[in-house]
Amino acid sequence: MTRPSKNRDLNALLTFQAVVREGRFSAAARQLGLTPGAISRSIAQLEGTIGVRLFNRTTTEFSLTAEGQRLASLVLDKLELLDHALTEFHSENSEPRGLLRVSLTNSYGKHYVMPRLPRFLEQYPQIQLEIGLNDNRKTLIEGGFDVGTCYGVPDQLAYISRVVCQPRLLLVGSPAYLACHGIPRHPSDLAEHECVNVSWASKGAGVWVFKKPEEQPIVISPQGRVFLSDQIDGVVHAAVGGLGLTVVHARAALSHLRSGMLKVLLPDFRIESEAALRDIHVFFPHRDQIAPRVRAFVDFLIDDRGDDAIDWNAHQA
């Protein structure tokens, strides 16, 4: 008696099941998408494995032997249960469901993702979320997360990443500060103002770049006595407190703009800032099979209309 691999044993048993169920080798071949010759070889292999003949076959007749009937009584019900279980498992896992552990950068998570999460949870009622908010670029595997976001391209090449958001940047200041120091009308006026910037340990503070269509960019090195280390959200509170003017992610300042605690300055310019790290990427590990819940969440993040859906000019000084 030979002992082929367990996978070959199982495939041969599934072929045996199809032959018994269909009643003919040719019908079983059609049902399994194989040739009749492949069916015959699989049955011969099974017979060689267990050391008995399973079928009486002639050119005109076909029947199970006593040993074939015995094998059928032992395995067919179990194979049907296995088939049912696999079908049910596939059906369950083709729909997004289960616990999804997500690591979100602080500002993006609070101001861009959290307000939209009720819609995601309503769309996918079988998903549960565990969310971490931080700007620490530790690996997903180290943190035990399924999917994460970061500013810029993730450091590790083992991840698939997509740009999901390019937050609009705004120059803002508090009414109290503007009443005391005046309103800048041009980027060059910022040389006369206190500016609050983010200083990253790896990149420093960087410059602010002001752009208009068909005009040369204006590059400003913001000067001020206050820097916030590795904390984008912090500059919003610094500006509200009257410490100076700052460049912020638009939606991070939205509630303060609506309340009148901050005003938009130089709204005709598009602003870029290395310190604010505009592009936000979603990333997840390279895998042959991406879980439906991960794919659903990535698609949800990408499907964001962006900051241009909001009328920022309504909040200018």
Give yes or no: residues 271 and 283 share one domain.
Answer: no
Q: Examine the pLDDT at 168 and tell me if it is beyond 80.
A: yes
Residue 202 pLDDT > 70: no
Q: Does residue 220 belong to any structural domain of this protein? A: yes
Q: For residue 172, what pLDDT is reported? A: 95
Q: Is residue 120 part of a domain?
A: yes
Q: What is the pLDDT of residues 291-301, one digit of tens each?
A: 889 999 999 98
- For 221, residues 6+ apart whose C-beta sits below 8 A from its C-beta are 207, 208
**CA separation for the pair 166, 164 (Å, rounded):** 7
pLDDT at 281 over 90: no
Are 162 and 27 within one domain? no
**Domain for residue 1, yes or no?**
no
Range of the domain at 63: 6-93
pLDDT digits (tens, 9 = 90+) for 38-61: 988 988 888 888 888 888 876 656
pLDDT above 90 for 240: yes
Q: What is the mean pLDDT of residues 217-233?
A: 78
Please tell me the predicted confidence (pLDDT) of residue 311.
Answer: 58
Buried b (16+ CB within 10 A) or exposed e, 131-166: eeeebeeebbeeeebbbbbbbeebeeeebebeebbe
Q: Which of 93, 123, 142 is the last residue of a domain?
A: 93
Share of the chain above pLDDT 70, in %: 79
14 within domain boundaries: yes
**Would strands 245-249 and 195-199 be described as parallel, antiparallel, or unpaired?**
parallel
Task: Please provide residue 121's backbone torsions phi and psi, each rounded to the nearest 5 degrees.
Answer: -70, -30
pLDDT of residue 108: 85
Looking at the DSSP assignment, which residues form a beta bridge with residue 249? 169
Length of the chain, in residues: 317
Domain holding 200: CATH number? 3.40.190.290
Range among 5-14, 170-179, 250-259, 278-287 with highest mean pLDDT value: 170-179
- Token pair 């109290």 is at which residue? 176
Report the pLDDT value the prediction gives residue 2, as an integer from 0 to 100.
Answer: 47
| CA dihedral sign, ordered 134, 139, 143, 146 | positive
Is the domain of 183 the same as that of 110? no
Q: Going along 62-184, which residue ranges are E strands?
A: 62-64, 98-104, 127-133, 147-151, 159-165, 169-173
What's the number of domains the chain is made of?
Answer: 3
Task: Please indicate, yes or no, if residue 316 is contained in any of the structural domains.
Answer: no
Tell me if 315 is assigned to some domain. no
Pick the more confident residue, 36 or 61.
36
Which is more confident, 304 or 15? 15
The enclosing domain of 62 has a CATH number of 1.10.10.10
Q: What's the CATH number where 294 sits? A: 3.40.190.10
| Residue type at position 296 | A
pLDDT at 4: 47
Tokens linked to 309: 């859906």
- The predicted pLDDT at position 125 comes to 93
Helices 6-22 and 66-93: angle between axes, nearest 10 degrees:
110
What share of residues in the chain are helix, strand, coil (percent, to 5)?
45, 25, 35
- Position 5 pLDDT exceeds 60: no
Q: How high is the mean pLDDT of the chain?
A: 81
Q: Tell me, yes or no, whether 109 and 89 share the same domain.
A: no
Rounded to an integer, the average pLDDT of 3-14 is 69
Q: Model confidence over 105-164: pLDDT tens digits?
A: 888 888 889 989 999 999 999 999 999 887 766 656 667 788 988 877 776 666 788 888
Q: Residue 181 has which token pair? A: 């120091």
d(CA 35, CA 33): 7
Q: Supply the Cα-derived Rg of the chain in whole angstroms.
A: 32
Q: Decide which of 41, 66, 93 is a domain's last residue.
A: 93
